[in-house]
Amino acid sequence: MKQKFKVALMVTALLGMGLGAPLEAATAKKPTEQASKKVATKSAAKPVKKTAAKSVSPKTAATSHKSHGKATHAKKPTKTLHAAVETPKKSMRRVAMADMDPGRLALYSASALVIDQNTGHTVLEKQPDAVLPIASISKLMTAMVVLDAKLDLQEVIAIGDEDVDGLKGTRSRLPVGTTMTRETAMLLALMSSENRAAHSLGRHYPGGMRAFVQAMNRKAQALGMYHSSFEEPTGLSSNNVSTAHDLARMVTAAARYPEIRGFSTTAEAKVELNGRIAEFRNTNALVRSDNWEIGISKTGYISEAGRCLVMQARVADKPVVIVLLDSVGKMTRVGDANRIKRWMESASLALERRPV
């Protein structure tokens, strides 16, 4: 009997141990799972650091691949981080041409004007109504008066003693006695600003020089150039005066003449004079630049007028008239023109980038 009781106790003990082990294991597992859940919850709630959101450049990705031997490990975290962190988009301010302050432009011309030919609006101005000597810009008017008279451009004219500059003593590559067609004289006057050629055009006008100057002033009045006056066809006289506004009207009118457009923008030409070939170049270096699309060009200089430049050109996909008067320094007028071009292109680019 005692032996049976001992056996029963042993069986009970063994059963207790077998059932206790799973219970103990389950009890131990539960706290572990709870701890794991807490860690997971804490990790999910914790924000991702911004430094981890940096994109991986191709070079960095290649280095990670080389170090770990698995490209997927380098890519996955990057995608996850970019999805978790979004960089706020910067708002873009609308920019109009008026926002581009022309006052910030360092223009060294005493008077300046830029007109949008599509709208007629003033893009930029600086003392545009100042009455100033215009030097050889006068030759645009000279050419218009000759063409308006419908004179034979193939008629041969000669350089005479009267065409020699006795006012400023300027040089010329056209000796007295040189003969050329009226067309060639106009080309040299507009392209190379040849004073003797321009003077000869006026002298060979019906009625002579006096009639020619009267025709120049009548043309100016007809164009609405009410603050302009012409005394002779070359611009050597400081009494040939105008304003930037008046000259913008003159340039616009000159652009209607195919001959003036072609001659004034010719970069260089070889001309036969007295049986010899002479090469002439345009006084405006910008006509030789690939960065400019110029339809009309004329430079001018005498000491009273300073360096002058007028152009009809396409800038920032707009046809514009540019007038620059009394620039100081030999290259200042070209520098001012380039500064205006860059300013207009910057404004146009800003307009293209504005949000729709």
Question: Which is catalytic among the residues 109, 111, 192, 193?
Answer: 193
Residues whose CB is less than 8 angstroms from the CB of residue 161 and which lie 6 or more positions away in sequence, other chains included: 176
Nearest to 300 by CA among 211, 202, 143, 189: 189
Distance, in Å, from the CA atom of 305 to the CA atom of 235, rounded to the nearest integer, reads: 10
Nearest to 206 by CA among 150, 136, 270: 150
Question: Which is catalytic among the residues 111, 136, 138, 200?
Answer: 136
In DSSP terms, 299 is beta-bridged to 309
139 part of the active site:
yes
Distance, in Å, from the CA atom of 220 to the CA atom of 215, rounded to the nearest integer, reads: 9
Task: Classify residue 355 as left (phi > 0), alpha (psi -120 to 50) or beta.
Answer: beta
How would you label 201-217 residue by residue, b for 16+ Cβ within 10 Å and e otherwise?
bbbbbeeeeeebbebbb
Question: Which is catalytic among the residues 126, 139, 219, 341?
Answer: 139
Distance, in Å, from the CA atom of 136 to the CA atom of 346, rounded to the nearest integer, reads: 32
Distance, in Å, from the CA atom of 146 to the CA atom of 134, rounded to the nearest integer, reads: 19
Nearest to 216 by CA among 167, 152, 143, 311: 143
Question: What is the layout of strands, in order, in the sheet containing 306-315?
Answer: 122-126, 109-116, 318-327, 306-315, 293-302
Distance, in Å, from the CA atom of 224 to the CA atom of 207, rounded to the nearest integer, reads: 25
Distance, in Å, from the CA atom of 84 to the CA atom of 82, rounded to the nearest integer, reads: 5
Active-site residue set: 136, 139, 193
